[in-house]
Amino acid sequence: MTTALVLLSAIMAIVVGWLVRHTLNVSPWQEQGAAEIARGNGELAGLPVQVGLVVFMAVATSLFALFISAYYMRMAEADWTNFPLPTVLWLNSGLLVLASVAMQMTRTAARRGSLDGIRKGLVGGGVFSLAFLGGQIWAWRQLNASGEFTPANPAYAFFILLTALHGIHVLGGLFVWARATARAVRGIDLGKVRLSVELCTVYWHYLLLVWAALFFVLLNTHR
Amino acid sequence: MTYVTHDESAFVPPIEVEEPELYHAKTFIGKYIWSQDAKVIAVQYSLTAIGVGLVALVLSGIMRLQLGFPHTFQFISPATYLQFVTMHGMIMVIYLLTALFLGGFGNYLIPLMVGARDMVFPYVNMVSYWVYLFAVLLLLASFFVPGGPTGAGWTLYPPQAILSGTPGANWGIVLMLISLAFFIIGFTMGGLNYVVTVLQARTRGMTMMRLPLTVWGIFMATILALLAFPALFVSAIMMTLDHLLGTSFFMPALVSQGRVLDHNGGSPVLFQHLFWFFGHPEVYIVALPAFGIVSDLISINARRNIFGYRMMVWAILAIGGLSFIVWAHHMYVSGMNPYFGFFFATTTLIIAVPTALKVYNWVLTLWRGNIHFTVPMLFAIGFVFTFVNGGLTGLFLGNVPVDLPLSDTMFVVAHFHMVMAVSPILVVFGAIYHWYPKVTGRMLNDTMGKWHFWITFLGTYCIYYPMHYLGILGVPRRYYAIEGTDFIPASAHSVNEGITIAALIVGTVQLLFLYNLIWSYFKGKPSGGNPWRATTLEWQTPETPPKHGNFGPELPVVYRWAYDYSVPGAAEDFIPQNQPPAKMAATGRAKA
């Protein structure tokens, strides 16, 4: 449980630390005047939906951390066997990096206000992400073709479980991406497109980070 | 009661940011069924939770019949008994208490108390309820499948949970695990709303430190739930795979009923870690909203500001933080390293410090207060008593050497029912008596309420006090019937009969409460907007019950905390949060 504990403690420390900082040195029993009210309530910078995305990423972090913890704890049992990781994972990692770069370029284009740049970037990001998912399925097929694959072997089962979980999160991102792309292609509602692009970019970087962590764990355990 | 709009305090405009577009329902179905109004969703959540809770209440009655009068009832077999125990536990903890406190009270109170028009993501909020309802229906469906619901105990420990010896091992357990997964998905949608609404949608002047403690409790509980429920999600998914696809995450190599199973090398203790990594924060997910609500009920009915508001907030934060590092005190008997046990015993005792601090502050708020023994106040004081009792036995069980002999006895059952079943449910009742007038515009009947309180409060003591003694005698939990054991005297059986009679009386009196809910909806005394003369924003709405959008044309501006009761020199013994300081109001009026 160490992995989960460390990550969750970090999240809780940020939450509690932030809250304590906002609750020290205040005298809530005193009424406040106009000037004080005008200074604001200490909301976080960003729209509700941006804060919502950060909260969601914290929840997803908890989920992945707990799976990784379970992985390490299960690995300690006697029947654990390693297997050679499918080499296509390296290619897939590259594709996910490219998807992230494309999304970052979209964000830059969106901030410049270039609709053309947004379209190109979104299509690029989507194509690379879909290619990544295709590559992950290809990796599963490689495993299956090796003839060693059986769900009873926890190493294989965990490999499928972790990659599938990450893939589902990518699919969820692609759902938002699809709506943004449809809007961008039709060229309507540029404000909403810009917001979606901001959210997608942050989420894609997060997905890349999670994949990097998962891949690192897998590489370390399947030498 | 003066409702102050910003006109009178010319300095502070209500809010500058663009207000969210509210969803406008046109049809009956859009308004009451597929509703995106947090208040309607709150009522939907509450009614569903209370409905499924009644099922669990009936199950507990049947269990008590079996324990009090074994061999009397033909329809209770050992298998059905275990199924009823399991379903009772899971429904009460997750589908009733969690859903009611966060989905019910959270949805109703957060937007009203922080001065928002609605939750920040109303559509997601609506989906959250429907996913929850789907999870409840999946769970209830397991009563009607071949083999019935699972009888694995609410902790669902593998390997027994999915082996053929356990009732409901084919369909029941799968439905249970999938239902839990859906519950968590639905909750996460709601939880995002609660957290972001508290963070970003507070009205002008409502700083974090001017939030009522109810909102603090629900807010922190939601953060705990968002971070802890994934642990249950992980274990539910992995156990489902073990059962359906033959993986070996939790299942060790074993021989079941003479047959060697395909599983190999899995770790049942891994499941226990994951389960309790969720399970212990779950206690505080239920307790923190109760703490918050009780603080407000006591302050309002004692007409005093809450003692040590800042301390109360920090205690909530400390309990929330600590609750993640105590989980293994549920696993002292799993063969853990004694140093681990020592560590978790220490953290468990440390968490008692902020908790005790809250109890002192409740008592100090009552001290020399102008106490009004209204029905909500009775329930709040009843909670403090019950919580202290349950908490003290928690100190026993938190220590490894005391826990080992008491583990899996009725002592544990008595402890956790006092601390996380009776205590929170007393708060639920108190809160319903308190906020029912805002939801319906009518007061609940007082006489029925007082009968309901006294029978419930004294009755639960008749149930759980003797149960501690049974536990110390060594009477085990989850046993269908106890026979041929020398160490359990005949008098223990008499105690069991008495407990059953008390339980049936307490169960029956809840019908009076339900009757009161329905009767008062039609015939109750009209309450007016602020029957308790309370300061918080939900009582200052222009209409009661509040319309969609909550606050009329302009959002209120908050000038003070939620606890200005009996302020010396003030005209009334309470000052609403949105009433401007005297000087400011005077200048404002002069200008107008």
Predicted local distance difference test score (pLDDT) of residue A214: 96
Q: Inter-chain contact A26–B226, Cβ cutoff 8 Å?
A: no
Predicted local distance difference test score (pLDDT) of residue B20: 56
Predicted local distance difference test score (pLDDT) of residue B3: 43
Decide if pLDDT at B10 tops 60: no
Predicted local distance difference test score (pLDDT) of residue B19: 55
Q: State which residue of chain A sits closest to B581, comparing Cα positions.
A: A31
- Identify all chain B residues contacting A37, using CB atoms and an 8 Å cutoff: 12, 204-205, 557-559
| Nearest-by-Cβ selection for B196 from A9, A41, A55 | A55
Predicted local distance difference test score (pLDDT) of residue B344: 94
| Nearest-by-Cβ selection for B195 from A32, A42, A55 | A55
Taking a C-beta distance cutoff of 8 angstroms, is the pair A151, A110 a contact?
no
Closest among B367, B373, B1, B9 to B205, alpha carbons compared: B9
Taking a C-beta distance cutoff of 8 angstroms, is the pair B209, B101 a contact?
no
The burial class, CB within 10 Å (0-12 / 13-18 / 19+), for B185 is: middle
Closest among B46, B76, B49, B50 to B61, alpha carbons compared: B76
Q: Summarize the confidence of residues A165-171 as an average pLDDT.
A: 97
Predicted local distance difference test score (pLDDT) of residue A2: 76
Kind of pairing, strands B259-260 and B255-256? antiparallel
Least confident of A71-75, B409-413, B450-454: A71-75
Predicted local distance difference test score (pLDDT) of residue B7: 39
Predicted local distance difference test score (pLDDT) of residue B582: 79
The residue written with tokens 């008098």 in the block is: B491
Predicted local distance difference test score (pLDDT) of residue B191: 97
Confidence of residue B560 (pLDDT cuts 50, 70, 90): very high
> What tokens appear for A140 in the block?
């599963």
Confidence of residue B28 (pLDDT cuts 50, 70, 90): confident
Predicted local distance difference test score (pLDDT) of residue A29: 87
The burial class, CB within 10 Å (0-12 / 13-18 / 19+), for B468 is: buried
Decide if pLDDT at B54 tops 60: yes
Predicted local distance difference test score (pLDDT) of residue B11: 46
Predicted local distance difference test score (pLDDT) of residue A79: 84
How many CB atoms within 10 Å of residue A83? 14
The burial class, CB within 10 Å (0-12 / 13-18 / 19+), for A49 is: middle
Predicted local distance difference test score (pLDDT) of residue B6: 40
Q: Summarize the confidence of residues B40-56 as an average pLDDT.
A: 96
Decide if pLDDT at B351 tops 80: yes
The number of residues making up chain A comes to: 223
Give tens-digit pLDDT for B285-300. 999 999 999 999 999 9
Decide if pLDDT at B586 tops 70: no
Give tens-digit pLDDT for B74-132. 999 999 999 999 999 999 999 999 999 999 999 999 999 999 999 999 999 999 999 99
Predicted local distance difference test score (pLDDT) of residue A38: 82
Q: Summarize the confidence of residues A103-114 as an average pLDDT.
A: 91
Least confident of A77-81, B50-54, B337-341, B370-374: A77-81
Taking a C-beta distance cutoff of 8 angstroms, is the pair B140, B52 a contact?
yes
Interface residue of B110, B184, B249, B536 to substitute, partner A, most A CBs within 10 Å? B249
Q: Is the dihedral of CA A57, A63, A66, A68 positive or negative?
A: negative
Give me the DSSP letters along A115-165: HHHHHHHHHHHHHHHHHHHHHHHHHHHHHHHTS---TTSHHHHHHHHHHHH
CA B390 remoteness from chain centre: 16
The residue written with tokens 């003694």 in the block is: B469
Predicted local distance difference test score (pLDDT) of residue B539: 96
Decide if pLDDT at B259 tops 90: no
Q: What is the residue type of A142?
A: Q
B548 three-class SS:
coil
Least confident of A84-98, A100-114, B11-25, B162-176: B11-25
Report the mean per-residue pLDDT for chain B: 91
Predicted local distance difference test score (pLDDT) of residue B508: 96
| Nearest-by-Cβ selection for B121 from A22, A52, A66 | A52
Q: Inter-chain contact B227–A73, Cβ cutoff 8 Å?
A: no
Q: Summarize the confidence of residues A111-116 as an average pLDDT.
A: 87
The number of residues making up chain B comes to: 592
Decide if pLDDT at B23 tops 80: no
Spatial distance between the Cα atoms of B169 and B155, rounded to a whole number of angstroms: 14
Least confident of A145-154, B136-145, B228-237, B464-473: A145-154
Give tens-digit pLDDT for B352-368. 999 999 999 999 999 99
Most confident of A75-89, A143-157, B408-422, B472-486: B408-422
Q: Inter-chain contact B310–A4, Cβ cutoff 8 Å?
A: no
| Nearest-by-Cβ selection for A29 from B227, B305, B558 | B305
Predicted local distance difference test score (pLDDT) of residue A41: 82
Decide if pLDDT at B16 tops 50: no
Spatial distance between the Cα atoms of B16 and A39, rounded to a whole number of angstroms: 12
Confidence of residue B588 (pLDDT cuts 50, 70, 90): low
Predicted local distance difference test score (pLDDT) of residue B21: 61
Q: State which residue of chain A sits closest to B273, comparing Cα positions.
A: A1
Closest among B375, B356, B360, B359 to B300, alpha carbons compared: B375
Give me the DSSP letters along B426-442: HHHHHHHHHHHHHHHSB
Q: State which residue of chain B sits closest to A10, comparing Cα positions.
A: B321
- Identify all chain B residues contacting A13, using CB atoms and an 8 Å cutoff: 321
Provide the shortest C-alpha distance from residue B38 to chain A (in Å).
16
pTM, rounded to two decimals:
0.94
Spatial distance between the Cα atoms of B570 and A210, rounded to a whole number of angstroms: 57
Q: Summarize the confidence of residues B185-201 as an average pLDDT.
A: 96
- Identify all chain B residues contacting A59, using CB atoms and an 8 Å cutoff: 188, 191-192, 226-227, 230
Confidence of residue B591 (pLDDT cuts 50, 70, 90): very low
> What tokens appear for A28 in the block?
């809530």
Taking a C-beta distance cutoff of 8 angstroms, is the pair B33, B130 a contact?
no
> What tokens appear for B341 in the block?
């046990």
| Nearest-by-Cβ selection for B223 from A15, A32, A152 | A15
Predicted local distance difference test score (pLDDT) of residue A197: 93
Taking a C-beta distance cutoff of 8 angstroms, is the pair A178, A60 a contact?
no
Q: According to DSSP H, which parts of B367-445 are helical?
A: 375-398, 400-406, 410-417, 423-440
Spatial distance between the Cα atoms of A130 and A75, rounded to a whole number of angstroms: 31
> What tokens appear for B543 in the block?
């209409």
Give tens-digit pLDDT for A37-57. 888 888 888 889 999 999 999
- Check residues B375 and B2 and name the one with the higher pLDDT: B375
Spatial distance between the Cα atoms of B166 and A46, rounded to a whole number of angstroms: 51
- Identify all chain A residues contacting B206, using CB atoms and an 8 Å cutoff: 41
| Nearest-by-Cβ selection for B246 from A22, A70, A151 | A151
Q: Summarize the confidence of residues B28-56 as an average pLDDT.
A: 92
Q: Summarize the confidence of residues B549-567 as an average pLDDT.
A: 91
Interface residue of A11, A24, A37 to substitute, partner B, most B CBs within 10 Å? A37
Q: Inter-chain contact A28–B584, Cβ cutoff 8 Å?
A: no
Interface residue of B4, B199, B203, B336 to substitute, partner A, most A CBs within 10 Å? B199
Taking a C-beta distance cutoff of 8 angstroms, is the pair B319, B393 a contact?
no
